[in-house]
Structure 1
Amino acid sequence: MKYVILHNIRSRHNVGAIFRTCDGADVSKIFLTGYTPAPIDRFGRTVGEIKKTSLGASEMVEWKQTDDARSIIRLLQDKGAIVVAVEQAPNSISLYDFDEPKNIAYVFGNEITGVEPEVLAVCDGIIEIPMAGQKESLNVSSTVAIILFQKPA
């Protein structure tokens, strides 16, 4: 099983692009935590930017919205998943040195501030994409694509 946790992602366009990528990568479920926007708003209306950017994948990939990322992480760990944050940190390992387990959940954080320390603290590990240029990071939707398609399913 492969899961994605999007924590405090602010851009609806990024969320839509990530849904499309998750569909292509056969992700079992996406968890939208914190203030990450969902494909359906609290009034039951479709969020146009997410549907358009996802090209309808937001209707194909199972998802759940909740405020607390840590409770979702613990739930997945209790079900045997290894939960790995994708973040630049002193104790992170390179994506290229990471052996992906069969039951995995990836946590992606805010476009500017990344994954919060209290969320990192409950993850089983931290990986990062090595950067060679002047910029320190990639767009979160690009990062999700690289992580999910790094190794064949």
Structure 2
Amino acid sequence: MREKKSILELTTTTCEDYRRRRKRSLILLCDNVRSLHNVGSFFRTCDAFLVEEIVLCGITGTPPHGEISKTALGAERSVAWRYAEDALSEAERLRGAGYELLVLEQAHDSISLGDFRVRPDGRYVLVVGNEVDGVSQGIVDIADSVLEIRQHGIKHSLNVSVSAGIALWSLSEQLSADADI
């Protein structure tokens, strides 16, 4: 019979130890995400995949907030984050600092997430957008790549925190192949 891991076996590190660990060269930029539940989910996902930092922009909620903590389960304390008022300005700044700008959005020239390959020495910013309007057009316009999660059902989109989780997992799996993480 298979035995599930206990909660003690799953608790592998302290918050302080986690903060000292080397992170992947991957940042999540949130462009005007309105749901605090989604923000909490971003923190938990970024904690799981050793994402360098989360940048919360515009109307996106920030810790400390009970609704974020309820979903993040403490990851809002382990994952580095900061607030930037304007997502486009922050995207331009990060791009100028040598990060490749990856926008998760449905566009006519998007690349299937499954077909996208990272460079081993690459530094990446994944941009996710508002639950209704998506990523701001100005950011789409300056993106190095627009990535799309191909879907086959009658709905045209996934929840932004689900999409971010899929994309962060895909990117982090590729980045970890060449990193000692």
Fold similarity call, TM over 0.5: yes
Q: Name the CA distance, whole Å, in 1 between partners of 2:133 and 2:97.
A: 29
Greater helix fraction, Structure 1 or Structure 2: 2
* Contact 1:70-1:122 at 8 Å conserved across structures: no
* 2-structure distance, mates of 1:125, 1:31: 19
| Residues 1:89 and 2:107 aligned together | yes
Aligned to 1:15, which of 12, 28, 39? 39
- Greater relative contact order structure (CA < 8 Å, 6+ sep): 1
SS in 1 for 2:93: helix
How many residue pairs get matched? 147
Q: CA–CA distance in 1 between the matches of 2:106 and 2:166?
A: 15
Superposed CA RMSD: 1.0
Instruction: State the partner residue of 1:38.
Output: 62
Q: Which structure 1 residue ranges, 4+ long, deviate > 3 Å from structure 2?
A: none
- Contact 1:19-1:61 within 8 A present in 2 as well: yes
Matched, 1:148 2:168: yes
1:120 to 134, 140, 146: 140
Contact kept, 8 Å, 1:95 with 1:147, in 2: the verdict is: yes
Distance 2:82 2:140 in 1: 20
Q: Share of identical aligned residues, percent?
A: 41
Secondary structure (helix, strand or coil) at the match of 2:46 reads helix
Task: Please name the residue that 2:69 is paired with.
Answer: 51
Aligned partner of 1:100: which letter? V
Q: Post-superposition shift, 1:123?
A: 1.6
Q: Which of 28, 39, 52 matches 2:52?
A: 28
Task: Tell me, in whole angstroms, the C-alpha distance in 2 between the residues paired with 1:49 and 1:149.
Answer: 24
- Highest Rg: 1 or 2? 2
Q: Distance in 2 between matches of 1:79 and 1:59?
A: 26
- Structure 2 stretches lacking a partner, 5+ long: 1-24, 177-181
Which runs of 5 or more structure 1 residues have no equivalent in the other structure?
40-45
